[in-house]
Amino acid sequence: MGNPLDIAVDSSDASERLAIPAERTLLIVEDDKSFLKRLAQALEARGFEVTIAESVAEGLQKIEQSAPAFAVVDMRLGDSNGLEVISALKRSRPEARGIILTGYGNIATAVNAVKLGAVDYLAKPADADDVVAALLSGEHKRIEPPERPMSADRVRWEHIHRIYELCDRNVSETARRLSMHRRTLQRILAKRAPR
């Protein structure tokens, strides 16, 4: 039974062909439980057979049991670096396609992940449609940078507000997780978003 996703796509180098696996098995390795649950549900709704892991060790075990066709792996996990999972996946199943999810301040490391076998990287929190597009993209073309990217101050502000929301708007917990003084955090939260 042929699947329209099992295709070979010409890249800019005619000698290199990239096949997208027809099998829709997917491993998500993420230690943020609420984000993991939302992403898993969204990708199941898009036709993937999802397996989840909350640590590098658990992810490596799942790959050893049955290497999936696709993987979405957080860069920073409690027990180690998500690159270990991508490397193990590529050793077990060279045609597998994995992407790295990276948080604030990890973009340079994510570029290195692509060199180690990931097909792409996305900043967290990633949208499920962006994840699917990255997993099923047939070309190695990089997306053009935005005409007007966010300023560093805006990126920092967005990150702080994301953590604040994840901590259920608890200022003390947010300050602790950001290693920031509580009063400093309160001043930042009271300000408008920078441009």
Shared domain check, 30 and 96: yes
Confidence band, pLDDT 50/70/90 cuts, at residue 62: very high
Q: Domains in the chain: how many in total? A: 2
Residue 7 in domain: no
Shared domain check, 29 and 83: yes
* pLDDT tens, position by position, 97-124: 999 888 755 555 666 666 667 787 787 7
**From CA 2, how far away is CA 44, in angstroms rounded?**
21
Q: Are 27 and 59 in contact (CB under 8 A)?
A: yes
Shared domain check, 164 and 117: no
Residue 48 in domain: yes
What are 120's strand-pairing partners? 99
Residue 65 has pLDDT above 90, yes or no: yes
Burial class (CB in 10 A: 0-12, 13-18, 19+), 189: middle
Residue 146 in domain: no
CATH label of the domain that carries residue 172: 1.10.10
Looking at residue 6, its pLDDT comes to 36
Confidence band, pLDDT 50/70/90 cuts, at residue 68: very high
Distance of CA 72 to the CA centre of its chain: 6
Residue 45 has pLDDT above 80, yes or no: yes
Looking at residue 137, its pLDDT comes to 78
Looking at residue 92, its pLDDT comes to 92
Shared domain check, 36 and 132: yes
Confidence band, pLDDT 50/70/90 cuts, at residue 69: very high
Residue 9 has pLDDT above 50, yes or no: no
Shared domain check, 131 and 156: no
* pLDDT tens, position by position, 71-93: 999 888 888 888 889 989 999 99
Residue 125 has pLDDT above 50, yes or no: yes
Residue 11 in domain: no
Report the pLDDT averaged over residues 172-182.
91
Residue 31 in domain: yes
Q: What percent of the chain has pLDDT over 90?
A: 34
**Residue 89 CB contacts under 8 Å (≥ 6 apart), including other chains:** 27, 63, 67, 68, 71, 96, 98, 117
Shared domain check, 159 and 127: no
Residue 14 in domain: no
Shared domain check, 156 and 132: no
**From CA 39, how far away is CA 53, in angstroms rounded?**
12
Domain range for 182 is: 152-190
Shared domain check, 79 and 27: yes
Shared domain check, 114 and 61: yes
* pLDDT tens, position by position, 17-31: 446 677 899 999 998
Residue 78 in domain: yes
Shared domain check, 105 and 31: yes
